[in-house]
Amino acid sequence: MPIEGYVEYKPREYCNAVQCPVQLELNTLTPGSEEYERIRATCRNNCRHTAWEFHHWLIEKGYSVVRPEK
């Protein structure tokens, strides 16, 4: 649920921004295809970037990570 006046992070926005080679390959394939899912497994199981890199990219781009209190 978006917060009024804010824009939400789009899936794979970071991956595309840093020109991750895995993401660039995925961009050439049909989502859901066997090859796409095979390569996508790299993202799930062996991402080339760290949480630290992603977190600091979010901060540099002005993103805030929020959640409801409860």
Residue-wise pLDDT tens digits, 12-58? 999 999 999 999 999 999 999 999 999 999 999 999 999 999 999 99
In a domain? residue 47: yes
Q: Quote the domain boundaries for residue 37.
A: 13-60
Domain total in the chain: 1
Q: Which long-range contacts (CB under 8 A, 24 or more apart) does 63-70 make?
A: 63/9, 64/6, 66/3
In a domain? residue 3: no
Average pLDDT over residues 2-17: 92
Res. 67: pLDDT tops 90: no
Asked whether the beta carbons of 36 and 30 are under 8 A apart, the reply is yes
Q: In angstroms, what is the C-alpha Rg of the chain?
A: 14
> How far does CA 68 lie from the centroid of its chain?
22
Q: Please report the pLDDT score of residue 3 as a whole number.
A: 85
Alpha carbon of 20 to those of 4, 29, 63: distances in Å?
31, 15, 20
Report how far residue 2's alpha carbon sits from residue 48's, in angstroms, rounded to the nearest whole number: 29
In a domain? residue 38: yes
Res. 1: pLDDT tops 80: no
